[in-house]
Amino acid sequence: TSAENSAPVSNSTRIAVLGKTGVGKSSLANTIFGEQRFKIGHTVNSETIESVTKSVNGGNITLIDTPGVFDTDRSEEELKSEIVRCITEFAPGPHAFLIVLKVERFTEQEQAVVAKIDQYFSEEFFKYATVLFTHGDQLPEGQTIEDFVRHNKHVRDLVRKCGGRCHVIDNKYWKNNQQDEYRNNQFQVKELLKTIDKMVQANKGRYAHRTIHK
């Protein structure tokens, strides 16, 4: 791992962050940690899986950043080997997967990502997965992320498979939003971590091993 760890990985909740390049994964890590821990917009060597461990809300969190795992130019074999590597490098595996998507009108590319997830991952994977949307400032005023999801069949099916777990943040504009509690990253990060805690408890603290279709 190339990033410095400030807490032991062994007693932390390990969260693998999955998403295509440009979806805001590095910024998301910094939003969760409340400080700059990952470089933004850097060209990640596809061989490097970065991780950072830090105490957040009284518990240790390790975020594992997998480079561009859902990029449309990557083959099924590449995607599978990347996920396997993410699990083996952080043996015995992550406790949770965070599927990162943007709040936007869903294009064919986004639909392709959702289709890939359905195709490549086993039912077991979805017990460990939560959907997180970035670019929350694109949410129409007064709408929650649940409202947004409800109006899009592809995403709705994905969220349903993930036990209804979905959250939203905005890495740019929601940092210290005092006007609207919902559109506030500190509030949303707390809610996200509560959801992950509940999910880890429901899985009895097990690690995600059998997540990929053979």
Higher pLDDT, 210 or 135: 135
Q: How many CB atoms lie within 10 A of CB 42?
A: 9
Residue 132 pLDDT: 95
- pLDDT for 120-167, tens place per residue? 788 888 999 999 999 999 998 889 999 999 988 878 989 999 999 999
- pLDDT for 21-57, tens place per residue? 888 877 888 888 887 666 554 444 445 667 788 888 7
Domain definitions of the chain by residue range: 13-202
Q: Measure the CA angle with vertex 196, ends 155 and 123; round to 5°.
A: 55
* DSSP letter for each residue of the chain: --SPPSS-STTSEEEEEE--TTS-HHHHHHHHHTS--S-SS----TT--EEEEEEETTEEEEEEE-TTTT-TTS-HHHHHHHHHHHHHHTTT--SEEEEEEESS---HHHHHHHHHHHHHB-HHHHHTEEEEEE-GGGSPTT--HHHHHHT-HHHHHHHHHTTT-EEE--TTT-TT--S-STT-HHHHHHHHHHHHHHHHHHTTT----S-B--
- pLDDT for 62-98, tens place per residue? 888 877 777 777 777 877 777 777 777 777 778 999 9
Higher pLDDT, 52 or 213: 52
User: Hey, which CATH number is domain 13-202, 3.40.50.720, 3.90.550.50, 3.90.700.10, 3.40.50.300?
Assistant: 3.40.50.300
